Structure 1
């Protein structure tokens, strides 16, 4: 029985080859940042209000003039094709069925067009600004052509994090070790559901820019690594702002000064993020920075937070601390690996139910009723 994200995580660990599970589950170096992302929620306890009529509750939120059913979205996650065939499409359709935003990664296995063919109103796109600016411009054109209303620019991943769990599975960069191949052979169900239908997964969005022989596996990964751009700066973000006519969100903000610059640059929203603890180890939890950054940007700026969210109580605490909503990655990926679209939908339902139940027990009828007075610093 799958009652929460940890149930799905345990089953995903059994189903997936070790290299695939560790890619999803792991973090940078000692994984201290990843641990902090979970531990931060223990800092606050709830103070319920009682004798409040909350028989009818509403978990919906309105972001950029569009109403969604719950205060969370699917975070951009790359290379989901190692979890199941057509993983990104399963995830996008699951999000659409639950009326929450789906943010497609630049390095998704499915292309923008693969998702766009479904004509989903919840389709957002996450952009890694690549060294080749012509490729970046073309990605923006493709996202706009497929109806993506919101662009989320990642600002915190100009270098790969030092993910030692990943490295142990490779003989050299982007080439699995013999031990990993033996482990894959011990997972015939995974081979039949992932490799047989689609071959080695690639990066669907990058296919137009790669020679045919490099469109999957080692070549595609090496191309993306070469395209990561450490020169990314605020002028680059201004350039993206000028090119993109829709809503613009910057992801990876972690301090007041950067939040202020994001507002000045014309961003419509901010995501506080330490990339799920996958980039810089010992980064503080984004949740710890929520109140500070909300104070900096005021109440009109849309503010999301990600990294470490597993339960509806986590989501409610973040909203009480100043977030408009939360981006969630790993829980949906674990569920996707186990039950594909059905699993992702169930995980979304479980989280919405947990948010709703928490609101009822706190005495909140709507998301706007959730505020800091409901929390006590432990």
Structure 2
């Protein structure tokens, strides 16, 4: 080999300096390539009690772990030599186009995670052309969220309370504010045993203890935002000073039945969705009752530990329900590949909860935008690698569910 002294005009094309990004938020969001990366940023920036409320689940957290493991145990089966220069990643939940095959699930106490809370979620969803679901336990009012995203697909999630009049007053407000769908959550006769919250003394508003104060010292931005914006409170409730679990047990009505659901149907003229379905038999009964969609969900593992894995239930429910109503999936989705696997397995649509909150805690509204951007990119790439040009082309042959937990007969 002959060697020579390098010349600048030879080195120049090989050395391109990256333009510095002055905004710390833009830097950390740009460096986040996955939802797991956003989670890591969120954990650094959010006090433990608030982060654990989002990140945790019930009891030993087995339901959540199993739901996520189910997606890890998926084998995707690609076809080759297909034209995938363009891919259509849209879906049509409730008969209306969504630019992406997922929407934002209802989450409570969202402004506790980051002060922009529900406003960031609804605004980002509107910008992305996907649905946003406001929780009964939200910290922004029904009317304010509608005003934030006046052109968005806004849905309202209902917990049936012991005080039925107050429950239906919320439904009436949602109807008057133009909400498209009512999402009734049915897996909450009582609150799940969320041990992280109990150990952290999770209350609304946050309780200041020596441990919390020490934990907050390296996170001044969170406290600054909390103390310099509108006081944290429930937009649909009176004030509360106890723990979250105590509040939920006070509110939730363990007497709710199918007859109550039928009564709700008579009170609501829009689309009706039922969230928290965990058996084939209940799915079939709801389809016969005429609901527009059911959501297979174990509440993100936050209610019954060792609950069925929604992804495992999906093929049997789709087979049983047929065209009776739409079947959606929630719980455990942490990547675009998870969304694609769900659609191939038979889901008409999916919802994300924690993934959205990790983005919110990592960077407010831009962080939610980043969550959606990451998932969109992963969905498009996965579909191209599968040789699929649209979500409508996804079918069971694209997915093999590797078996880890097999029921003993």
Query: Do the structures match in fold with TM over 0.5?
Result: yes
Contact kept? 1:74, 1:95, Cα under 8 Å: yes
**Deviation, structure 1 residue 217:** 4.3
Q: Secondary structure at the match of 2:290?
A: coil
After TM superposition, list the pairs within 5 Å mapping 1:1-378 onto structure 2.
Answer: 1-118=31-148, 119-170=150-201, 176=207, 177-199=209-231, 201-206=232-237, 210=238, 215=239, 217-218=241-242, 224-378=248-402
Contact 2:240/2:247 (CA < 8 Å) preserved in 1? no
Distance, in Å, in 2 between the alignment partners of 1:280 and 1:221 is 14
Structure 1's unaligned 5+ residue stretches are: none
For residues 241 and 225 of structure 1, the distance between their equivalents in structure 2, rounded to whole angstroms, comes to 25
SS of residue in 2 equivalent to 1:103: strand
Q: How far apart are 1:236 and its partner, in Å?
A: 0.7
Question: What TM-score results when the alignment is normalised by the length of structure 1?
Answer: 0.94
Q: Does structure 2 conserve the Cα–Cα contact (< 8 Å) formed by 1:175 and 1:218?
A: no
Per-residue deviation at 1:299? 3.3
Indicate the structure (1 or 2) with the bigger Cα radius of gyration.
2
4+ runs of 1 displaced by more than 4 Å?
171-175, 219-224
CA-CA distance at 1:158 after TM superposition: 1.9
Contact 1:86 1:110 in 2 (8 A): no
**Alpha-carbon displacement from aligned partner over 1:298-346 (angstroms, at most 9, x marks no partner):** 0352111111100111111111111011110111101111111111011
Superposed CA deviations along residues 82-128 of structure 1, whole A, max 9, x for unmatched, are: 12223101110001000000010000000101111231331001000
Contact 2:63/2:306 (<8 A) preserved? yes
Query: For 1:148 and 1:191, how far apart are their aligned partners in 2?
Result: 33
Which moves more between the two structures, 61-70 or 354-363?
A: 61-70
Where in structure 2 are there 5+ consecutive unaligned residues?
Answer: 1-30, 403-409
Alpha-carbon distance, 1:225 to partner: 3.6
Instruction: Summarize the Cα distance change of 1:198–1:216 in structure 2 as closer, same or farther, 3 Å threshold.
Output: farther
Q: Please state whether the residue corresponding to 2:236 is helix, strand or coil.
A: helix
Distance 1:340 1:324, change over 3 A: same
Rounded to whole Å, the distance in 1 between the matches of 2:62 and 2:215 is 27
TM-score, normalisation: structure 2:
0.87
SS in 2 for 1:67: coil
Measured in 2, the distance between the counterparts of 1:372 and 1:66 equals: 24
8 Å CA contact retained: 1:203, 1:220: no
* Cα distance change, pair 169–4 in 1 and its aligned pair in 2 (3 A): same
**Counterpart-to-counterpart distance in 2, 1:271 and 1:251:** 5
- Tell me how far apart the structure 1 counterparts of residues 143 and 247 of structure 2 sit (CA, whole Å): 21
Number of corresponding residues: 370
Rate the CA distance shift 1:254–1:175 in 2: closer, same or farther, 3 A.
same
Cα distance in 1 for partners of 2:111, 2:65 equals 26
Supply the distance in 2 between the matched residues of 1:46 and 1:171 (Cα, whole angstroms): 40
Whether contact under 8 Å (2:125, 2:152) holds in the other structure is no
How many angstroms apart in 2 are the aligned matches of 1:219 and 1:312? 35
Contact 2:202 2:244 (C-alpha < 8 Å) held by counterparts? no
SS of 1:198's partner is coil
